[in-house]
Amino acid sequence: MKKSFLALVLLLFLSLWGLCQTNEENEKEAGYLSFQTGFIVDGYNSLGVRTFFEYQKDLKKNWQMGISYEHSRHFGFFMTDQLYDLNSNLSQLSVNGYYKLNLVKDKLFFTSGLGVGVLHVNWDEKDSFGVSVNASLTLNIRVTKRIYIETSPLVVLFPFNRVYYSPMNIDHFDNFYAFTFFPFGIKVKL
């Protein structure tokens, strides 16, 4: 477990390093800095306030790559399929790949993505680390030349834009899953 964790941390570091490298071809492609907030609900019935930061880089055509860090702080409970409550605080570092689907070119578009990362969960006195995967679908709305608003694509029907899964276990809770709840963010084109 420790070797796979270290290998994943190394992969994340190398991906971040690769994103930061510039050459003539990469200088033409746009970069974005994204900040989101809202709530996160996990499979332990924990509801937390979420902060999310991501650096994204345009690749070829409609493909993007990003590296993100997010943290949530428990402040209450939410009803999921679990019978028991467990307050949890989360931190996650991920490498994400996105596909950009333009509805109105560079003014209104969806980004759908998949990512892999390292997850840290703190349950009162216990800490656990694990590998996690995520999937996302985010609506981007341009408000100025360089600023976009990010939110869930169907905020009224499905008020989330990202889901997470990890095979991490604790006590009688099997696996870890979570989803964002009423996400709202700002994306700045660099």
Hey, what are 44's tokens? 């332990």
CB-side neighbour CA atoms (13 Å) of 91: 6
Domain tally, the chain: 1
Instruction: Say how far apart CA 111 and CA 161 lie, in whole Å.
Output: 10
Please state the rounded mean pLDDT for residues 156-164.
85
Tell me, what's the pLDDT at 84?
A: 63
Which is it for the CA torsion 127, 71, 43, 138, positive or negative? negative
Secondary structure of residue 45 in the 3-state scheme? coil
Tell me, what's the pLDDT at 188?
A: 96
- Asked if the structure places residue 154 within a domain, the reply is yes
- Asked if the structure places residue 106 within a domain, the reply is yes
Residue numbers of the domain that contains 107: 2-16+30-189
Tell me, what's the pLDDT at 127?
A: 85
Hunting for tokens 């790559």 — which residue is that?
A: 65
CATH code where residue 55 lies = 2.40.160.20
Position 62 pLDDT exceeds 70: yes
- Asked if the structure places residue 23 within a domain, the reply is no
- Asked if the structure places residue 48 within a domain, the reply is yes
Q: With cut-offs at 50, 70 and 90, classify the pLDDT of residue 141.
A: very high
- Asked if the structure places residue 102 within a domain, the reply is yes
Q: With cut-offs at 50, 70 and 90, classify the pLDDT of residue 158.
A: confident
- Asked if the structure places residue 37 within a domain, the reply is yes
For 5-53, write each residue's pLDDT tens digit: 555 555 555 565 555 554 444 445 789 999 999 999 887 778 899 999 9
Q: Furthest-apart CA pair in the chain: how many Å?
A: 55
What residues are paired with 134 via a beta bridge? 115, 164
Tell me, what's the pLDDT at 22?
A: 46
What residues are paired with 115 via a beta bridge? 96, 134
For 66-124, write each residue's pLDDT tens digit: 999 999 998 877 765 555 667 888 999 999 999 999 999 889 999 999 999 999 988 77
Conformation bin of residue 49: beta by default, left when phi > 0, alpha when psi is -120 to 50: beta
